[in-house]
Structures are given as C-alpha cells and as structure tokens.
Structure 1
Amino acid sequence: MNPLNHVAIIMDGNGRWGLKHQKSRNAGHKAGLKTVEKIIKESIKKNIKYLTLYAFSTENWKRPEKEKKFLFNLLENFLVNRIEDLHKQNIKLNIVGIKNFSKKLNLLLNFSEKKTFKNTKLQINLALNYGSKSELLYAFKKLNKKKEKINEKNFIKYLQTKDVPDPEILIRTGNTKRLSNFLLWQIAYTEIFFEKKLWPDFNENDYKRIIKDFMNIKRNFGNI
C-alpha cells in the first residue's frame, strides 16, 4: 500500500452548483463549505496529516465584487465561529498565499494561524490569493538575491510549502481537467484525479474511493 500523508484539492464547481440549484453562485460557495467540513473529518479518520485546499487563486480577483465580498465574508464567519473547534480537534491552519485582504480578514487569518500553530492532528493549508507561477518566480528571485547555488534543495526553501511534504494525491472536482496554476512544482509526482461532480456534491464516499484507488497504484518514480 502506498503511504498517504498529503491530499491537495481544487474545489471547483461551487458557482455552477449554486446557479443550478438556487440560481445563485453564492449559494454554491456556502454549500461547498459543508463539503470542506466533511472532507476534514474523513481526512482525520484516514490519518492524513496535510490537506491543502485551493480556496482563492490570484486569478480569482477578476470575479465580480459582489461574489468576492461574499467569499471573504464567508471565510471571516467560518474563522470566527469554527476556529475554536478546529483548535480543540488539534487541527493546524496554515495560509498558503499572500495575505492581501481587508485588515479584519488579515487579522483573523493571523490569529487563526497563531492559535493553532502547535496542533498536530491535521494541518490544513488554505491556499488564498495563491498562484504557483508567482510562488516559483519569488523563489528564483530569492535564490538570486542571496546568491545561493541553484539546486532543488535551496529552491524548495523559498516555496510557500517549504515545510510541507509534496502531495501524493491531487483531486479536482467540477469536470475540468486542468491545474489552474496550483502547486505546479509540488505535484511533479502526484497522482491526479479529475472528478465530474461539482464540489458541493462531492462526499466522503467519493473521497474514500479515490484513496482506495490511490492505494492500488504502482508508483515507480521513474523506476520499473
């Protein structure tokens, strides 16, 4: 059986789900949050140590102001109402990306990270205002500025995931088969699963099926 420490997820399809069911993209974002909680619980059951969720990309700033405001309010409410519970469950919250939000949201994110910093059951890497191309350019610039030798070991030091093992599994829901500027360096040897279901319809059984399929994959890493 393959070891599994880290699952990354592109949570695609919230807006489409909302339009389909309640004629509102925002309704889909709200429903998607329920799926997040289900997957967190199942990750703990499976003893997965890292869960990285693509919540808001650098490209998502192009979305309508009303939708962005709703998303940030949803995140603020989640942090206010649920961070204490996550802390009690020994869950660590880590933000991957640039905190370039409102003062209130930035403070909440910093508080949540600090409060849960020592927790060890599960680390949730929440990718907010994250873009892999920007991350890679930043790492190269840091190497150049510090005049360090360009090699894999030094390069990884400047990635936003420098203290996190690369994911063994990447899941993308929403019946879209692309990576959308997500963890391009880190998923070099990751097993990728594209799911037809929209994110709010994705459930524990889907998650368990993917994990089971992963366990049966022969992973060669260039070997035979």
Structure 2
Amino acid sequence: MSSSAPSKAPASGSGAGTRGGPRHVAIIMDGNGRWAKKRLLPRAMGHKKGVEAVRNLVRSLRENPVEALTLYAFSTENWGRPADEIADLTALMKHFIRNDLDEIAQAGVKLKIVGDYSVFDDEAVKLIDGALARTAGNNKVTLAIALNYGAQAEIVRAARAAAEEGEITEEAIARHLDTADMPPLDLLIRTSGEVRLSNFLLWQAAYAELYFTDVLWPDFSPAHFREALDHFAGRERRYGGR
C-alpha cells in the first residue's frame, strides 16, 4: 500500500512534474518485535534480524544508488521501552559499528547521525565518534542513522537557532535542521503495515512521496527496496502546482 500528498514545490531538489530515482530516501524500520512474536522468539532476535536487513540494504546501494539514506534506528520515545530491550539495542549498535565499519568505509559510505547520540553510554559515543571521523571524507553515499531523534524537538531547536539569528523563515529553519547538509527528502518508506510518521522527519517529509509496505523490517530485502524505488520513479511529482 502506498500514499502521497505533496502540497507545494520545495526550495530545492527534484523539480515539479519530474520522474526518476530519488536522491534521498528515509526508512522507518518497523516490525522487529512482531517478526519475533510471530516466530515465538524473544524481541532481541527480531532486532538482531533487523540489523541484518540494514546490512543487506547498505550493501545493495551499489545496485540501487541514492545520494543519501536515512534510517530511523532509535527515537526519543524509545527510552520508554524496557531497560533490557534498550540494552539489547545499544549492544547491537556497538556490534554493528565494530563489525561493519571497515566494509562501510571501504565502500565510500559517509556516516552521519541525526539526533543527539551523546546520551548513550561512553563506549557507544566513542565508537560513534570514531565511525563518523573515519568516514568523514567519503562521498559515494551518506548513511544517516537517526539516534535519540524526534522531529518535533528538531524543529524546535532549528526555530530557536533561526530566532537567535533574527530571521524566522522556512529557509532559516531548514538551515538548522539535522539534515541541512543532505539532499531534500524524496521518498519515505515505512515497513510493517503501519501508516503514520511517528515523529520522524516531519519537516523534511512535507514534499516527500510516502510508501507503506506490509513487509516487516527483518524481512525487508534489497528487492523490496528496489520495488519502492521503481514505484517512486513511476510517480509524477507536481507538488500541488497543477
């Protein structure tokens, strides 16, 4: 199932009425818990399988090229989950960095964090800092991971920064968003059948095409990603202009 509702042309990015592949894709990776529950497995196994899906997706970017990919990994609301689940998620994040950073760096991927990752434990922060520094010079694709991220808080921070500069305009706020150095968001995908944005990239998604799939995140394959890209390419983006 898919849905889209752009309202007006953005200041930059693909022009109105154009067709082609997206420059910037974002994904709400939903369904790890339900995947595990269906198989009578602990939630931790769902999260582990979800990390494998991330790994396969990043590897597939050689065949499905985009300029930027943003993944919703940990929201500000996720702190309300049980402590053991948060510990599992943090451990998986550390494991991913330790085991996949070499491959990511060699593939020319530039890592970026959207949100405030300083709230994680010292070991995690150190690993993230190292990963960001190591990939800072890469330019084939930007892989942004949303950690401790909430779109409403991001917009508030950006508005405050714009106000301090004495100019509260759409352009001024956009300059202070976490994604200001990335291409405009073209396509937002959500897995698992849920049809909502869950406080993710609310400002950036104003003109994005939305794509919803019933596939649970651990089962989301590069082929599913290709299907979403092909669906996007078949749309005519008018931004309400005609």
Moved more, 76-85 or 124-133: 76-85
Considering only aligned residues, what root-mean-square deviation do their CA atoms show, in Å?
1.1
Q: 1:214 maps to which residue?
A: 232
Q: 1:141 maps to which residue?
A: 160
- Partners of 2:228 and 2:174 lie apart in 1 by 28
1:150 aligned counterpart, secondary structure: coil
- Partners of 1:123 and 1:93 lie apart in 2 by 6
For each residue in 1:199-219, what CA deviation from the matched residue of structure 2 results, as whole angstroms up to 9, or x when unmatched? 011112211111111111011
Contact conserved, 1:14 with 1:198, CA < 8 A, in 2?
yes
Q: 1:43 maps to which residue?
A: 61
Per the TM alignment, residue 51 of structure 1 is displaced from its structure 2 partner at its CA by 0.4
- Partners of 1:144 and 1:168 lie apart in 2 by 28
- Partners of 1:192 and 1:5 lie apart in 2 by 14
Q: How many residues align?
A: 223
Runs of 4+ off more than 4 Å: none
- Partners of 2:62 and 2:202 lie apart in 1 by 26
- Partners of 2:99 and 2:59 lie apart in 1 by 17
Contact conserved, 1:44 with 1:122, CA < 8 A, in 2?
no
Higher relative contact order (CA 8 A, sep 6+): 2
Contact conserved, 1:18 with 1:24, CA < 8 A, in 2?
yes
Give the counterpart letter for 1:79 in structure 2: I
- Partners of 1:46 and 1:64 lie apart in 2 by 36
Per the TM alignment, residue 22 of structure 1 is displaced from its structure 2 partner at its CA by 4.1
Contact conserved, 1:191 with 1:214, CA < 8 A, in 2?
yes
Q: Is 1:118 matched with 2:134? A: no
Q: Is 1:75 matched with 2:93? A: yes
Among 17, 36, 46, the residue aligned to 2:35:
17
Q: 1:102 maps to which residue?
A: 121
Q: 1:202 maps to which residue?
A: 220
2:95 aligned counterpart, secondary structure: helix
2:148 aligned counterpart, secondary structure: strand
Q: 1:85 maps to which residue?
A: 103
Contact conserved, 2:67 with 2:183, CA < 8 A, in 1?
no
Contact conserved, 1:44 with 1:121, CA < 8 A, in 2?
no
- Partners of 1:159 and 1:213 lie apart in 2 by 28
Q: Provide structure 2 residue ranges, at least 5 long, that are not aligned to the other structure.
A: 1-18
